[in-house]
Amino acid sequence: MTTVRSKSLLAAALCGALAVTGCGSGVGSSSQEQIKLLVFGAPEELAAYRTLIDAYEAARPGERVQLVEASDRKDLLARLATSVAGGAPPDVFLMNYRFYGQFAAKGVVEPLDGRIAASDAVDPADYYPVAMDAFKWHDQQLCLPQNVSSLVVYYNRTLFARYGVPEPKPGWTWNDLVGTATAMTRDGRGLVIKGTEAEGAARLPAVHGLGVEPSIIRLAPLVWSNGGEIVDDPDRPTRLALDSPAAREALKSLVDLRLAYGVVPSDAEVEAEDDESRFLNGRLAMLMTSRRATTNFRTITGFDWDVAPLPVYQRPVGVLHSDAYCMTRGSRNKDAAWRFMEYAMSADGQKIIAATGRTVPSHIETSRSPAFLDPNLPPRNSQIFLDAIPTVRALPTVSTWPEIEDLSYGILENAMHRGDRLDDVIRELDAKSRPVFARGENG
Amino acid sequence: MSEAGLVLDGVSAAYRTETVLHEVDLAVARGELLVVLGPSGAGKSTVLRVAAGLEPVTAGRVRIAGRDVTDQRPGLRNVSMVFQSYALFPHLTVAENIAFGLEVRDTPHRVARERARAAAETVGCAGLLDRRPGQLSGGERQRVALARALVREPDVFLLDEPLSNLDLALRVEMRAELRALHDRLGATMVHVTHDQTEALVLADRIAVLRDGRIEQVGTPEEIWRTPATVFVARFVGSPAMNLLPAGGPLQPAGDPPALPVEAQIGFRPEAVNLDTGHGAPAIVDRIEVVGEDAYVYLTLEGGKPVVARVPTTRRPDRGAAVRVGVRWTDTHVFDATSGRRLAP
Amino acid sequence: MSAGSEAGPRAPGTGAGSPAGPDARSRRQLALMLAPYLAGLVGLVLLPALVTLALAFTHYDLVRPPAWAGFDNFTALVEDPIFRIALTNTVVFAVVAVPLRVLLALGLALLLHRRTPGAGTARAAALLPTAVPEIAYGLLWLWLLNPLYGPINQVLRVGGENGLTALGRTPPQWLTDPTDARAAIILVSLFTMGETFVVLLAARRALPRDVYEMAAIEDATGWDVFRRITLPLMAPVLALLALRDAIASLHFTFVSAFVVTDGGPPPYATTYLSLFVYQTGFEYLRYGYAAAATLVMMVLTLAAVLVQWRLVRRYRRFYPR
């Protein structure tokens, strides 16, 4: 079977079976003008992109952008892959650097160096280098980072005030975090309670001290801060390597939050109400997550909240969270796509998205402007996102990283909630990740 | 009443809102073969279903072998039923079909099989025991259904048009066998049919049913010779009895009984004499020849029809003018409004 | 089968048609009427299936051209622990859920085939879950199964203290305990047996009434009637439905595993073949590998069908026409 035929057959198959959004409209004449932007996100985030598109279309008459909305990250990956296979990919898509590797490696993404060099609007020096670097594949700039977020601790100030517990301060340590979380884990009467005896026992915590998901991206900054590594070789990783004393200690600290201190909700409690909802409902004192949660938390009216930097283990290190606009190589309208990207990356475009609270702008100037730092919009302390940028590190870029995250999540979840032996956990992470890394390609 | 096998005492029954049996009184003596005869829709099957307990009564009592079973479920009434469709279980062998009633009553398997074989032998289907209903002819199915009915020793056998699905020759044969079987077993049987010949041949007594009411109960001879109503008179006998207004165009010969004003006279086709030379004038419309007999369809002056049965060799020609004679001794007299028998 | 249904399933058209010529014409008309369906079948099902089969022997990531791989994907599957778990999960699900679904449908059909007050409403209620769009149905169950706030566990906790059931046990941890989660997926699948229910309802109603009256006169108990009459008479239909359900079971785990449990609890308690294929194919872009897993799934289905078909045929011998 020849390549061409199998591809066209597959395209037909996918068209029928999946009703891929891109499929079928490729032949339309209107696509000459209109470009497609594929994104996913919560309703507020999608609204932000619509605002951006409206502003763009108003500023540049004649340009038209169609927003293609995926329901979640996995849906976006599937849509992107199938539409590329079907020969009608979106012109631009937004993707996290942790997941773009497989598309970068497979040549789906159009390198932008030439366009950047020729552009009056985009100057790489205007953007945080750590974000720009995360989207370089074999020294080519493939995508343009829209944001540069890092992990922070959101906390419920009203709860802290009620229980008289000091709020987290910059420079606080892991031990401070554990102590604070313990002091904030309370039962229905407001008394300090240890959540470990929870399962079916006398009293369940009404407020948990901390929410943190047992994932590799939450664990990584902890390990780094303790002077360890999560993989054997950050440039050419071949396995998840948490067997160093530093990494092992960090892993133990993470699972102890549940197993020893009981300050994070149990797995059943998380299934019943995820951490973000728990925080929204005032039942979680602190939540470790990225800037993404801000949009959602701005709907909170019942209490006051703010953000604090990640606690320090040995030295301050953050983990990079960044999404970027990528252009597909199969785009039929690359110039129009580029014009949109230029606008989205410009100070105007970045301000529109920043105003929704969703992002820490990758555009340095915008990030220091009131568009991001406006003290009247929570969190008051947005500055700490910027303060963390010099210390953030990116996760390894390897094309099979999504699989690494999925498989490690299951193992780490069992470590934290089922209490699997750490040696077994570390060995399993090592053994299971090896074949996946082996299949991967590095950027 | 201790000698009664089955008694319906003022039984009414309804289908949804429509009453299908109106206060039926019926007593079947032990060992008697009673045939319930009537046209379709008369409620014949309902009589059986009420007796079996498959339909509830809205009024009256049902007694079987002296027990009041009105409120008992079918399984406790100790009756056997043969359905028009035979209701054989298609997935069971003949032996299993016959033994079904015993098996579900926890009769030991071996005993049940032995009795099934005996029952099959009684009705002459012992050679079919390992077959399944799908492999049987209509007559064979009928025998199996009978064997199944008599494998137990029920107080009453209820047979719902068991012969109606057979062709004529087989029906005649099975009719005779059924009568012989009854005589051999001495069982109480209620047999439902719409076929008057079958009823006349089989029955100890016949109950004629019309619109959910009993018209007449009597021996076949009584039903034939002294029909209680116009309905019975016309339903039994083929072609049906001739009916004319008394004092009409045809006056029977002999001494007339005392007649009320509104009366009808009836006489069977075989009572008509076309050879007397006197009587009412009539024209021959058409003639049906059935072997030795010929049925002559006539029209009297004034347009009333009359049928006559004559020997084929002495039939008139079509269109011929004849004289229709009948004698009072062969004539039934009915009240014209109620249809009830007046004389003799 | 039974006397009552003999007249029923005679195919329309078998006896139709006048003697000369029209045989060819009616065949042509038949072909013409079938054409759109056949075109759709070939274009939308068969061709893609064949392409998938071919892709099972390639390395293909949906993006770069497929490269011949021989049996690489299959050897990799054999060594893939996730695939083995998914396979086991799928088989266990089919073995447990299919009989339960058919039994539930049968029970309901026998309960609701009579014309009694409320039976119509009950029938509609039994059908309703099947009519709900799958994703919505999954989301509904996500709420129902919520370990703390879900109505199911709320009810189970009635009469108990401190979050325990009245028997002093922890209520099922639907979404966090592997066994409970598998049970949850089976539970979710049970209520979509509406189609099976409808078919059984029709099959039960087609059974001759007099056979049941016969049984009543012989004083057969409900159990005897079920065991000796209803079950054997409906057995061919039941077998066919079980067969169909077994085939369908390979995919009706998908939405519930995808929406309700996301393949978890960790590591892969409710990762079924369908979800495995979706993840490897569309999330990890290992389309060739996923195609190989699909092929294994198809072979499995075929094997299940053959086994059941043989059983049905053995049973059918009891029903000579």
Q: Residues of A with CB below 8 A from C62's CB? A: 81-82, 84-85
Chains A & C: contacts with CB separation below 8 Å: 111
Contact B279, B321 (CB under 8 A): no
CB contact under 8 A, C213 and B132: no
Range of the domain at C134: 81-318
Q: Which two tokens stand for residue C90?
A: 């799928």
Residues C233-285: pLDDT tens digits? 888 888 888 888 888 887 778 887 887 777 777 778 888 888 888 888 888 88
Distance CA A289, CA A379 (A): 13
Nearest Cα residue to C267 out of A92, A410, A340: A410
A289 membership: H or E segment, kind and range: strand A284-289
C169 dihedral zone (left: phi>0; alpha: psi -120 to 50; beta)? beta
Q: Residues of C with CB below 8 A from B74's CB? A: 213, 216-217, 219
Q: Coil, helix or strand for B46?
A: helix
Report the pLDDT value the prediction gives residue A7, as an integer from 0 to 100.
42
Report the pLDDT value the prediction gives residue A2, as an integer from 0 to 100.
37
Contact C293, C84 (CB under 8 A): no
Report the pLDDT value the prediction gives residue A250, as an integer from 0 to 100.
92
State the smallest CA–CA distance between residue B45 and chain C in angstroms.
13
Q: Which two tokens stand for residue A381?
A: 């302390």
Question: With pLDDT > 90 as the criterion, what percentage of chain A qualifies?
Answer: 40
Contact C282/A at CB under 8 A: yes
Distance CA A294, CA B188 (A): 92
Distance CA B13, CA B60 (A): 9
Report the pLDDT value the prediction gives residue B2, as an integer from 0 to 100.
44
The phi, psi pair for C196, rounded to 5°, reads: -55, -45
Residues of each domain in chain B carrying CATH 3.40.50.300: 4-234
* CATH class of the region B4-234: alpha beta
Alpha helices in B124-219 (DSSP H): 138-150, 168-185, 196-202
CB contact under 8 A, B80 and C217: yes
Report the pLDDT value the prediction gives residue A22, as an integer from 0 to 100.
39
CA-to-CA dists, residue B231 to B223, B267, B339, C13, angstroms? 11, 13, 7, 46
State the smallest CA–CA distance between residue C116 and chain B in angstroms.
13
Name which of B48, B79, B89, B160 to mutate to probe chain C: the one with the most chain C Cβ atoms within 10 A of its Cβ.
Answer: B89
Residue A287, number of CB atoms within 10 A of its CB = 25
The phi, psi pair for B252, rounded to 5°, reads: -60, 155
Contact C314, C236 (CB under 8 A): no
Alpha helices in C72-221 (DSSP H): 72-79, 81-112, 119-131, 134-144, 151-156, 178-190, 194-206, 209-217
Chains B & C: contacts with CB separation below 8 Å: 82
Q: Which chains touch C (3 or more CB pairs under 8 A)?
A: A, B
Contact C149, C125 (CB under 8 A): no
CB contact under 8 A, B100 and C228: yes
In residues, how long is chain C? 321
Q: Residues of A with CB below 8 A from C75's CB? A: none
Mean pLDDT of the C79-100 span: 89
- Report the range of poorest mean pLDDT among A189-203, A245-259, A343-357, C8-22: C8-22
Q: State yes or no: pLDDT of C32 exceeds 80.
A: yes
Distance CA A100, CA A73 (A): 11
State the smallest CA–CA distance between residue B196 and chain C in angstroms.
25
Asked if omega into B344 is within 30° of 0 (cis), the reply is yes
β-partners of residue B81 are B158
Q: Which chains touch B (3 or more CB pairs under 8 A)?
A: C
CB contact under 8 A, C148 and A102: no
Residue of C nearest to A89 (CA): C63
Report the pLDDT value the prediction gives residue B344, as an integer from 0 to 100.
62
Contact C167/A at CB under 8 A: no
Q: Residues of B with CB below 8 A from C232's CB? A: 91-92
Residue of B nearest to C224 (CA): B104
Residue B107, number of CB atoms within 10 A of its CB = 18
State the smallest CA–CA distance between residue C159 and chain A in angstroms.
14
Residues A220-263: pLDDT tens digits? 999 999 999 999 888 889 999 899 999 999 999 999 988 888 89
Residue of C nearest to A404 (CA): C284
Residues C153-199: pLDDT tens digits? 888 877 776 667 767 677 777 878 888 888 888 888 888 888 899 99
State the smallest CA–CA distance between residue A333 and chain C in angstroms.
19
Alpha helices in A228-266 (DSSP H): 245-259
> What is the distance of C-alpha C237 from the center of its chain?
15
Q: Residues of C with CB below 8 A from A106's CB? A: 61, 63-64, 285
Contact B334, B229 (CB under 8 A): yes
Report the pLDDT value the prediction gives residue C59, as an integer from 0 to 100.
85
Name which of C176, C258, C278, C289 to mutate to probe chain A: the one with the most chain A Cβ atoms within 10 A of its Cβ.
Answer: C176
Q: Which chains touch A (3 or more CB pairs under 8 A)?
A: C
Name which of C217, C224, C228 to mutate to probe chain B: the one with the most chain B Cβ atoms within 10 A of its Cβ.
Answer: C217
Residues 135-164 of C with CB under 8 A from A: 146-150, 162-164
Question: pLDDT-based confidence at C64, cuts 50/70/90?
Answer: confident
Report the pLDDT value the prediction gives residue B267, as an integer from 0 to 100.
93
Contact C176/A at CB under 8 A: yes
Please, what is the Cα angle at A55 between A50 and A56, to 5 degrees?
95
Residues B88-137: pLDDT tens digits? 988 889 999 999 989 888 889 999 999 999 999 888 888 889 898 888 88
Q: State yes or no: pLDDT of C5 exceeds 60.
A: no
Q: Which two tokens stand for residue C320?
A: 């000579």
Contact A284, A276 (CB under 8 A): no
Report the pLDDT value the prediction gives residue A218, as an integer from 0 to 100.
92
Chain B residues contacting C via beta carbons under 8 Å: 52-54, 73-77, 79-81, 83, 85-92, 100-101, 103-105, 132-135
CB contact under 8 A, B74 and C216: yes
Q: State yes or no: pLDDT of A143 exceeds 90.
A: yes
State the smallest CA–CA distance between residue A159 and chain C in angstroms.
23
Residue of C nearest to B80 (CA): C217
Fold of B240-246+266-343: OB fold (Dihydrolipoamide Acetyltransferase, E2P) (2.40.50)
| pLDDT under 50: residue ranges of chain B | 1-2
CA-to-CA dists, residue B138 to B84, B145, B171, angstroms? 11, 11, 11
Nearest Cα residue to A234 out of A401, A95, A402, A422: A401
Report the pLDDT value the prediction gives residue C173, as an integer from 0 to 100.
78
CA atoms in the 13 A half-sphere facing the CB of A437? 20
Mean pLDDT of the C230-235 span: 88
Residue of C nearest to A19 (CA): C44
| Burial (Cβ within 10 Å: 0-12, 13-18, ≥19) of residue C218 | buried
Nearest Cα residue to C64 out of A338, A441, A37, A92: A441
Name which of B81, B104, B190 to mutate to probe chain C: the one with the most chain C Cβ atoms within 10 A of its Cβ.
Answer: B104
Report the pLDDT value the prediction gives residue C16, as an integer from 0 to 100.
42
Report the pLDDT value the prediction gives residue B125, as an integer from 0 to 100.
85
> What is the distance of C-alpha A91 from the center of its chain?
22
Contact B121, B99 (CB under 8 A): no
- What amino acid is encoded at C204 in this protein? R
State the smallest CA–CA distance between residue B88 and chain C in angstroms.
7
Mean pLDDT of the C105-130 span: 87
Contact B10, B63 (CB under 8 A): no
Q: Residues of A with CB below 8 A from C64's CB? A: 106-107
Mean pLDDT of the A60-81 span: 88
β-partners of residue B207 are B36, B217
What is the total count of domains within chain C?
1
Residues C215-227: pLDDT tens digits? 998 888 888 889 8
Across B5-43, b (16+ Cβ under 10 Å) vs e yields bbbbbebbbbeeeeebbeebebbbebebbbbbbbeeebb
Q: Which two tokens stand for residue B336?
A: 């014209």
Please, what is the Cα angle at B22 between B16 and B27, to 5 degrees?
125
Residue C244, number of CB atoms within 10 A of its CB = 17
| Burial (Cβ within 10 Å: 0-12, 13-18, ≥19) of residue B105 | middle
Pairing of strands A318-321, A392-393: parallel
Q: State yes or no: pLDDT of A292 exceeds 60.
A: yes
Alpha helices in C113-150 (DSSP H): 119-131, 134-144
Distance CA C264, CA A11 (A): 32
Name which of C1, C115, C214, C219 to mutate to probe chain B: the one with the most chain B Cβ atoms within 10 A of its Cβ.
Answer: C214
Distance CA A88, CA A329 (A): 11
Report the pLDDT value the prediction gives residue C315, as an integer from 0 to 100.
65
Q: State yes or no: pLDDT of A13 exceeds 60.
A: no
Q: Which two tokens stand for residue C12?
A: 């329309």
Q: Residues of C with CB below 8 A from B89's CB? A: 211, 214, 228-229, 233
- The domain that holds C93 is classified in CATH as 1.10.3720.10
> Which of C217, C219, C229 has the CB atom closest to B89's CB atom?
C229
> Is residue C23 a part of any domain in this protein?
no
What domains can be seen in chain A, in order of their start residue?
A: 12-148+322-383 (3.40.190.10), 152-320 (3.40.190.10)
- What amino acid is encoded at C152 in this protein? I
Q: Residues of B with CB below 8 A from C231's CB? A: none
> What is the distance of C-alpha B155 from the center of its chain?
21
Tokens 């500055």 correspond to A383
> Which of C210, C220, C320 has the CB atom closest to B104's CB atom?
C220
Contact B8, B62 (CB under 8 A): yes
User: What is the average pLDDT score of chain A?
Assistant: 85
Q: Is the dihedral of CA A112, A116, A117, A123 positive or negative?
A: negative
Question: pLDDT-based confidence at A19, cuts 50/70/90?
Answer: very low
